[in-house]
């Protein structure tokens, strides 16, 4: 679809941006732009291709970029650091889009220990905020996802997760600054009261709260974001509930739910499935295509057929009380064992078991390193990530659907859920070798089948690769698709020309010449 | 401003609604409409007057009402039960508006014990949901504000508060059904996936979460709302931190904050100020105008110069651990004493100290009864409710500003804060006799002065009476008022004719013929 955007317009935009921001801010060579393509696209992909990349350092430069794009008529695709690899990295829905990348706009603007928050620019990585908290000596704990090189802002805008008490990263957002397609700068909530000390202290101002409107959308470009942080706890306790029977998942999930609902278990458990347990239950050779890879997946995963990471934070007395309650709840499940490790809240990263780093709020690269170690550097994956009810029956059905489709196509994948109190957020990483075109096609076929099978059960994804966006959006069918019609009307109101990230999450203006 | 709407159009709308819904659904006599005026307006008010009231019982009837209003060109002002007395009840910003009142659309559609939620229509009162939970025998706890006769939906849409762990009522919302000005019906989040079991289980679907967009706004009429509920705890512990020195508030607030930030104290403390403590510190006659009324306020309030209600919920072991931590934190403040009362989670309302009812999630009328008892049935009030930082210094400054303005004008009021972890939500009820016109005028003058003084410190209100909306909205000045410009653009996109609650929270379409 690169034809929809005139090459001459791309060149005009490029020249104008070089003139306005300097040539350092504009990346144009194949070698430079490569990093901003879909990192797992494999050879020969032609969709979702950026034209060039621009990297502003100030809000004023972002306004200037928007002005040029609007004047010339070329769409911008915003990515913060572009590290959401399983969901396409910086790859735009409309090929030819200019990638606006925030890696150079990466200041931690404030860390407030007393009120427990940070204010950051979109290029700030989880690593950066962690370092800044340590450098300031602030007694605060952050939440991070499995891979620490991503952007706090980008991850929260995509409804991303971590594993501590503040692990629902969208819910931890408090206050944004946003550059609109008009070039105007908006501050949400109490940030709109210029003199207010409350921008990062209260989510709501007067009138509707708009932070959520700028997540998973393309209504503006977020240039600052407030993020709530937890106080550093006296004790961090984390470990696993380990179940070694295939059908033990039903009782395990149903025992976890009340402990999540009443807040005994804090943070968000990651529950993983390893179909080939260490005890050799799987029969070698039975699954001729995937067997050796399945072994590798199991090796990269925590122990057990099922493993639920649980964590407690706070005063020692309360951490201990929580542990006792959980042990008691699982006593009646003989197939489940519980392992807990404890650390002081100010533990140094080198003293933490790598499996416990994210639970301790310490950004790291452990998971990616493990994948590289077992599968090599050409490992890629595509995700299927539906939200399902928090019940044992649904969990078991979900895992069986996934494993069956993977087995039918000779594929393997990492599979698990991030548990919220009322929802299991499925995360399925279907794995392939980016140099193996056949495997890439099979993997995408697998996700299509999963989407279809899930839709029959009323399940759909919370995030999606650009190639899957329209399929996911089509599931939102209530009232003749009235939700997406409203998304479109708001797009028309705020960005009628569709300059900002057209097609992001299936949102287009009605006059969509790119589509 | 009733002139802006043609009387003949109001009559046409009335006739069409009677024809469509039946005469039972349309209230037109003065006696009937009286209840939907500002209950505290006092004699002689001419602004914010409804023309007539329509009470649908189904979503289809709501759609029909919207269609008629749009065809005829008369605005509708939606109120759920209209019990938010301190903020104007059902009084519309544009006089002549038809009040769409939901008291007859009051079904509890679902209570799900396993996943901890309810789905309700907008006419459901806190009392109703409590009764329905009991009737079903569901082991769930709800959160309610001080007065239990209001609507769950209306209160949450106004960013209202209760006092339990789910006490931030807007945050407890999960999924809405909304009738748009176009007449279309929208479901938010995963409710838009027709077959999804997730509507009340996960706040976010795919694309931006819109629940927040329909709160404190006029973009649609909410006809169903999901509401998260807490599991019934083993133990409910609630009571007070009581401080008897005037300047003890600084240390008390600063000691509370870390206990809120780390979650030791659950729910939302209500911190009240009683300037005339029981020990007779105030000198009778010193405050000649307000002295006797001030005595009454103190009598209606919990004990102490300052009183912070704190609550713990859950397993007995954890409740006890929390209590020990809080006692220890306040040991070093000799002026603060702590009283805790404990109840089983399934306690009957008759066994609960009236001061503890809301902390136990039991809807009641205690506060209003107290006001009537001490001040008589003609007591009215107007609120000043700014959000301020959670620091002792700010709290002290805030209370002094309030008391000084009240004293200067010879007024008294109830004053306190609802504490969130990072914000003290001030609630000032300036009290008057609705039959005393001079006192009404003084009270409104007091709020104007408080608004002005607060604005100098960067503070503004989270809710406001219709007469104060535009003053509050004017505080949101960042970027040439870009936030309210965006509010207006979204209004234009979803309701260009301004049929739905024009002027609500200062939101108008650009072609605003009512204004």
How much is the pLDDT for A4? 72
Q: Mind giving me the DSSP string for B302-353?
A: PSSSEEEEEEEEE-HHHHHHHHHHHHHHHHT-TTEEEEEEEEETT--GGGS-
A28 touches chain B (CB under 8 A): no
Please answer yes or no on whether A116 and B261 come within 8 Å at the CB atom: yes
What are the pLDDT digits (tens) for A466-489? 999 999 999 999 999 999 999 999
* Reported ipTM exceeds the 0.90 cut: yes
Tokens of B1: 């401003």
Provide the β-strand partners of residue A77. Answer: A99
How much is the pLDDT for A461? 96
Cα four-point dihedral sign A221, A223, A224, A229? positive
How much is the pLDDT for A2? 43
Q: Determine the distance from the C-alpha atom of residue B312 to the mean position of all C-alpha atoms in its chain, rounded to a whole number.
A: 23
| Residues in A touching B268 (Cβ below 8 Å) | none
- The alpha-carbon gap from B312 to the nearest alpha carbon of chain A, in Å, equals 12
Contact B39, B85 (CB under 8 A): yes
A230 touches chain B (CB under 8 A): yes
CA distances (Å), origin B352, targets B238, B267, B339, B346: 11, 18, 15, 11
* Spatial distance between the Cα atoms of A349 and B207, rounded to a whole number of angstroms: 36
- Count CB pairs under 8 A between chains A and B: 313
B475 touches chain A (CB under 8 A): yes
B307 touches chain A (CB under 8 A): no
Q: Residue B115: closest CA among chain A residues belongs to which residue?
A: A422
Phi (first) and psi of residue B307, to 5 degrees: -140, 120
Q: Are strands A76-79 and A98-101 parallel, antiparallel or unpaired?
A: parallel
Please, which residues 160-179 of chain A have a Cβ atom closer than 8 Å to chain B?
A: 165, 170, 174
Q: Determine the distance from the C-alpha atom of residue B260 to the mean position of all C-alpha atoms in its chain, rounded to a whole number.
A: 22
* Spatial distance between the Cα atoms of A428 and A406, rounded to a whole number of angstroms: 11
How much is the pLDDT for B276? 67
HEC per residue, A10-47: HHHHHHHHHHHHCHHHEECCHHHHHHHCCCCCCCCCCC
Contact A33, A96 (CB under 8 A): no
* Spatial distance between the Cα atoms of A26 and A139, rounded to a whole number of angstroms: 39
Q: Determine the distance from the C-alpha atom of residue B426 to the mean position of all C-alpha atoms in its chain, rounded to a whole number.
A: 12
How much is the pLDDT for B515? 59
Tokens of B147: 């007065």
How much is the pLDDT for B131? 98
A470 touches chain B (CB under 8 A): no
Residues in chain B where the model's pLDDT stays below 50 = 1-2, 277-282, 284-285, 287-289
- The alpha-carbon gap from B101 to the nearest alpha carbon of chain A, in Å, equals 21
Q: Residue A464: closest CA among chain B residues belongs to which residue?
A: B206
Tokens of A399: 């895992």
What stretch of H or E contains A402? helix A392-408
* Spatial distance between the Cα atoms of B454 and B447, rounded to a whole number of angstroms: 10
Residues in chain A where the model's pLDDT stays below 70 = 1-3, 43-44, 276-291, 513-515
Tokens of A436: 């193996």
Other C-beta atoms lying within 10 Å of the C-beta of residue A415: 23
Which of B136, B14, B150, B28 shows the shortest CA–CA distance to B72? Answer: B14
Other C-beta atoms lying within 10 Å of the C-beta of residue B137: 9
- Listing from the earlier edge strand, what are the strands of the sheet with A108-112? A108-112, A117-120, A221-228, A173-179, A185-187
* Spatial distance between the Cα atoms of A163 and A358, rounded to a whole number of angstroms: 6
Cα four-point dihedral sign A325, A328, A332, A335? positive
Please answer yes or no on whether A264 and B197 come within 8 Å at the CB atom: no
From the candidates B170, B179, B262, B474, which should be mutated to test the interface with A, based on the most A CB atoms within 10 A? B262
A489 touches chain B (CB under 8 A): yes
B510 touches chain A (CB under 8 A): no
A436 touches chain B (CB under 8 A): no
Contact B391, B254 (CB under 8 A): yes
Phi (first) and psi of residue A340, to 5 degrees: -130, 135
Q: Residue A214: closest CA among chain B residues belongs to which residue?
A: B208
Q: Residue A160: closest CA among chain B residues belongs to which residue?
A: B204
Please, which residues 267-306 of chain B have a Cβ atom closer than 8 Å to chain A?
A: none
State the burial class of residue B419 (Cβ atoms within 10 Å of its Cβ: 0-12, 13-18, 19+): buried
- The alpha-carbon gap from A49 to the nearest alpha carbon of chain B, in Å, equals 22
Please answer yes or no on whether B459 and A196 come within 8 Å at the CB atom: yes
Provide the β-strand partners of residue A230. Answer: A141
Whole-number CA gyration radius for chain A: 23
What are the pLDDT digits (tens) for A59-111? 999 999 999 999 999 999 999 988 888 888 999 999 999 999 999 999 999 99
| Residues in A touching B477 (Cβ below 8 Å) | 192-194
């Amino acid at each position: 679809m690169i034809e929809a955007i005139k090459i001459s317009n791309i060149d005009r935009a490029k020249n104008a941006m070089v003139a306005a921001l300097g040539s350092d801010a504009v990346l144009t060579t194949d070698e430079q732009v490569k990093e901003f393509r879909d990192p797992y696209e494999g050879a020969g992909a032609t969709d979702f291709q950026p034209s060039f990349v621009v990297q502003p350092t100030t809000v004023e430069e972002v306004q200037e970029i928007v002005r040029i794009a609007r004047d010339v008529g070329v769409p911008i695709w915003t990515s913060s650091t572009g590290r959401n690899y399983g969901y396409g990295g910086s790859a735009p829905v409309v090929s030819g889009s200019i990638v606006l990348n925030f890696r150079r706009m990466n200041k931690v603007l404030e860390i407030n220990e007393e009120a427990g928050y940070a204010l950051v620019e979109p290029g700030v990585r989880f690593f950066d905020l962690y370092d800044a908290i340590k450098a300031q000596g602030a007694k605060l704990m952050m939440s991070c996802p499995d891979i620490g090189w991503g952007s706090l802002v980008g991850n929260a805008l995509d409804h991303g997760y971590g594993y501590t008490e503040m692990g629902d990263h969208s819910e931890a957002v408090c206050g944004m600054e946003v550059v609109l397609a008009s070039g105007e700068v908006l501050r949400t909530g109490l940030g709109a009261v210029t003199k207010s000390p409350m921008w990062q202290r209260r989510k709501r101002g007067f009138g509707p709260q708009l932070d959520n409107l700028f997540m998973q959308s393309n209504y503006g470009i977020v240039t600052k974001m407030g993020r709530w942080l937890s106080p550093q706890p006296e004790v961090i306790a984390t470990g696993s509930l380990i179940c070694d029977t295939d059908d033990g998942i039903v009782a395990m999930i149903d025992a976890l739910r009340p402990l999540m609902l009443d807040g005994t278990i804090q943070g968000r458990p990651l529950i993983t499935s390893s179909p080939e347990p260490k005890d050799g239950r799987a029969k070698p050779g039975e699954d001729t295509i995937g067997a050796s890879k399945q072994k590798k997946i199991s090796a990269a995963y925590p122990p057990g057929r099922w493993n639920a990471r649980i964590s407690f934070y706070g005063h020692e007395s309360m951490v201990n009380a929580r542990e006792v309650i959980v042990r008691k709840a699982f006593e009646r499940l003989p197939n489940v064992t519980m392992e807990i490790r404890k650390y002081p809240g100010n533990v140094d990263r080198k003293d933490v078991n790598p499996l416990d780093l994210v639970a301790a709020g310490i950004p790291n690269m452990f998971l990616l390193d493990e994948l590289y170690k077992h599968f090599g550097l050409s490992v890629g994956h595509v995700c299927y990530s539906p939200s399902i009810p928090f019940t044992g029956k649904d969990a078991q059905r979900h895992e069986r659907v996934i494993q069956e489709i993977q087995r039918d196509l000779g594929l393997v994948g990492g599979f698990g859920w991030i548990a919220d109190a009322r929802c299991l957020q499925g995360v399925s990483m279907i794995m392939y070798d980016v140099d193996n075109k056949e495997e890439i096609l099979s993997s995408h076929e697998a996700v299509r089948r999963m989407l279809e099978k899930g839709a029959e059960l009323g399940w759909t994804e919370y995030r999606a690769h650009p190639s899957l966006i329209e399929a996911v959006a089509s599931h939102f069918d209530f009232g003749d698709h009235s939700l997406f019609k409203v998304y479109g009307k708001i797009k028309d109101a705020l960005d009628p020309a569709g300059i900002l990230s057209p097609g992001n999450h299936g949102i287009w203006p009605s006059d969509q010449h790119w589509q």
